[in-house]
């Protein structure tokens, strides 16, 4: 009976957090294609903070965007909510894909994830090596293994020939060795420019033709993606990649005693009492961007997944 009550509580908060993501997306919308990343971040951040403070909860930001590029941000350690209700860890990215959005390009979203207090990895804003797969390949990946070995393991789990496997990698010079391994085995390669959260989630959805996401990207996005995959039954591993002594020391300061440790999905998100929501700003892999209708209403498209729920995920269309 206690588990049922807990799930109902999460469901209620998840719908309130959906409104948070929607408002952040709507606030950022006017800045599409205007070339100003900081204004994009500022608009989304202010809207998200204002809405979060209205929720009956004691929320703590453990993943906040902005430190690495000095953009406006919801900062790590910031407390939000009315102070009543459940205690939560919150991971946010008011606009994932600020650069894309500033250029008027696709795949920018407002995204937020939450779990019970003390259950999310307090990852600093630095790079993280990542690998993500869907439920059928859960337990079949290892960051210490080569991508070739991981592809073989995942292909076997999915009942696919290696040449049928689809691997998604961010198009960066640092990933040339990964790209070459995909080509060497004859698997399908999908490159993308920015925004790896939805790509990681795509590995767990039948609607998206991707089997593995792999590469080095932002650690905050890694924790957010891991939360979504935890809800969806997928798998994720991450390893922080500090670029200098200052970043290494920051890991230690934040309680990560071994910055080169591989974190499993259950170490990144320690509770099943979690949820993830994203609202599209511009059109993307999972969800559509905002549409302004002839009657003046604004149409949003969102994705929601809740840990422990009988409904694995929902696509939600709303008019504002």
CA distance between the termini of the chain: 37
| β-pairing verdict for 58-63 and 87-96 | parallel
Among 215, 248, 234, which Cα is nearest to 136's? 234
Segment 71-79 long-range contacts (CB within 8 Å, at least 24 positions apart):
71/37, 71/38, 71/41, 71/98, 72/38, 72/41, 72/42, 72/45, 72/46, 73/41, 73/45, 74/45, 74/48, 74/49, 76/122, 76/124
- C-beta separation of 91 from 220 below 8 A: yes
* Bind-site residues: 41, 65, 93, 96-98, 127, 172-174, 194-196, 218, 221
| Cα–Cα distance measured from residue 191 to residue 6, given in angstroms and rounded to the nearest whole number | 40
State the sign of the Cα–Cα–Cα–Cα dihedral 313, 10, 213, 25: positive
Q: What angle do CA 46, 196, 68 make, to 5 degrees?
A: 50
| Cα–Cα distance measured from residue 208 to residue 133, given in angstroms and rounded to the nearest whole number | 12
| Cα–Cα distance measured from residue 210 to residue 204, given in angstroms and rounded to the nearest whole number | 9
* Bind-site residues for Mn(2+): 41, 65, 93, 96, 221
* Bind-site residues for substrate: 96-98, 127, 172-174, 194-196, 218
Classify each residue of 68-102 as buried b or exposed e, where b means 16 or more C-beta atoms within 10 Å of its C-beta: eeebbbbebebebbeeeebebbbbbbbbbbbbbbb
For tokens 């294609």, name the residue: 33
State the sign of the Cα–Cα–Cα–Cα dihedral 255, 259, 261, 263: positive
């Amino acid at each position: 009976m206690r588990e049922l009550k807990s799930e109902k509580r999460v469901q209620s908060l998840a719908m309130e957090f959906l409104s948070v993501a929607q408002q952040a997306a709507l606030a950022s919308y006017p800045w599409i294609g205007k070339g100003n990343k900081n204004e994009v971040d500022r608009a989304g951040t202010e809207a998200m903070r204002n809405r979060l403070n209205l929720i009956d909860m004691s929320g703590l930001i453990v993943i906040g965007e902005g430190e690495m590029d000095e953009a406006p941000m919801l900062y790590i350690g910031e407390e939000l909510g009315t102070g009543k209700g459940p205690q939560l860890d919150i991971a946010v990215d008011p606009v994932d894909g600020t650069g894309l959005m500033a250029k008027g390009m696709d795949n920018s979203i407002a995204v937020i994830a939450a779990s019970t207090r003390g259950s999310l990895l307090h990852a600093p804003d630095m790079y993280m090596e990542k690998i993500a797969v869907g439920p059928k390949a859960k337990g079949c990946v290892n960051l210490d293994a080569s991508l070739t070995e991981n592809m073989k393991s995942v292909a076997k789990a999915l009942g696919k020939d290696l040449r049928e496997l689809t691997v998604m990698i961010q198009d960066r010079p640092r990933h040339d060795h990964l790209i070459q391994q995909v080509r060497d085995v004859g698997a399908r390669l999908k490159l993308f420019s920015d925004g790896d959260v939805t790509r990681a989630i795509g590995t767990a959805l039948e609607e998206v033709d991707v089997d593995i996401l792999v590469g080095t990207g932002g650690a905050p996005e890694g924790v957010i993606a891991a939360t979504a995959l935890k809800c969806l039954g997928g798998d994720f591993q991450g390893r922080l990649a500090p670029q200098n002594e200052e970043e290494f020391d920051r890991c230690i300061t934040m309680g990560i005693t071994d910055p080169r440790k591989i974190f499993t999905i259950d170490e990144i998100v320690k509770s099943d009492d979690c949820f993830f929501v994203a609202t599209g700003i511009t059109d993307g892999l999972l969800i559509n961007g905002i549409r302004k209708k002839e009657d003046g209403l604004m149409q949003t498209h969102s994705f929601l997944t809740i840990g422990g729920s009988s409904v694995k995920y929902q696509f939600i269309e709303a008019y504002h």
